[in-house]
Amino acid sequence: MRKWLLSILILTLAVVLMACGSDDNEESSNEEEAASGDSKWEEIQEEGELVVGTSGTLYPASFYPEDSDELTGYDVEIMKEIADRLDLEISFEEYGVDGLLSAIDSGRVDVVANDMEVTNSRDESFDFSEPYKHSYATMIVREDDLSGIETLEDIEGKVHGGGATTVFAQIAEHYGAEIESYGNVTNDVYLRDVENGRTDLIINDYYLQSLALQALPELEVTQHPDLQFHPSDSAIVMGEGEEELKEKMDETLNEMREDGTLTELSEEFFGGKDASQEPEEDVEEIEGLDL
C-alpha cells in the first residue's frame, strides 16, 4: 500500500514537473523567437517586396485616373519611389479607410499610405514615419446656404458624410454631428450626397477637398470660406516597434525631401501647391478633443 502510494506521488510529481518544464520551455522558446525572430524590415528584404495598404479611391492621394487601371496619386507615387530607392518591388492592397489599420495588424500589408493622419490614439498602437504632408481640415457644404453652418458649433445636429473611424468623423462627432458612414466609395458619392441634402457637410483635408471640387465643378457644393481648423501631418503607418522599417522609411523620405522629390510630387498632384511644407495659413486648433 505504501509502495503504491509512493508510486502515485512520484508519478504525479513527474507530471507536474513535465508540465512546468513544458511551460518554461515554451516561454523560453517564445522569448527566443521574439529576440531572434525576423523584423518586418528583414521580412520585406527577404521577400524583395513592399506591400502597401491604400484605398485607391482617395483623390489625389490614391486613385485610378479615368480610363486607366494604373493606381497613382501623391501617396502612391511616394511609396513607389521609396521602394525603388530601397531596391524593392512594390504591390498595393486596397481596403476601405476603416480597414487599413487592421490590415497592418493582420499582416496582410507591411505599411499603409493613404493620407493617414498622425494622431495620439493611433500612435499608441502603430508607428509613423516622418510626415510627408502637412495640411489642415476644412469642410464641404452646400453652395447656396453653406448648409446653415457659420461656426464649428453649428455642426451640432447636422449629418457628416465619411468613414466612421476617421479623424474627421471624430471632429464632427465632437461638435455633435451625426455620422453617415460609407464603404470604399469615390469622392463624387460623398459630394453628391451633400448637394442633394442626404448629408450636410464633409470635414476632410484642405488639399484633397480643393482638388475634389475642381474635378467635379458641376456640383453645387463648396469649401466653407471661413473655417480652417485642425492642423495635421500625414505619414506612412507601420506596426508598432518596427524600428528598422521606420528608420528605412525616414531615411528615404528625408532624401526625397532634400533632393526636391517630395515637392515635385506634391506640385504634380496638388495643383502646383507644396503640401510637403508647413502651411502658412492661420489654422484654428480644436480644444477638448484628444485625437
**Please, what are the domains in the chain?**
41-132+235-269 (3.40.190.10), 135-231 (3.40.190.10)
pLDDT of residue 91: 98
pLDDT of residue 229: 96
Is the preceding peptide bond at 65 cis, omega within 30 degrees of 0?
Answer: no
230, 236, 237, 238: CA torsion to nearest 10: -160
> In the chain, what is the straight-line distance between the N-terminal and C-terminal CA atoms, in Å?
70
Digit-coded pLDDT (tens) for 132-164: 999 999 999 999 999 999 999 999 999 999 888
Q: What is the pTM of this model?
A: 0.74
Give me 103's grid cell: 490590415
Which residues does 250 contact at the CB level (< 8 Å), separation at least 6? Answer: 129, 130
Digit-coded pLDDT (tens) for 241-266: 999 999 999 999 999 999 999 999 99
pLDDT of residue 26: 36
Neighbouring-strand partners of residue 117: 234
Distances (CA, A) of 73 to 132, 188, 190, 280: 13, 17, 19, 24
Residues 202-217 have a mean pLDDT of 91
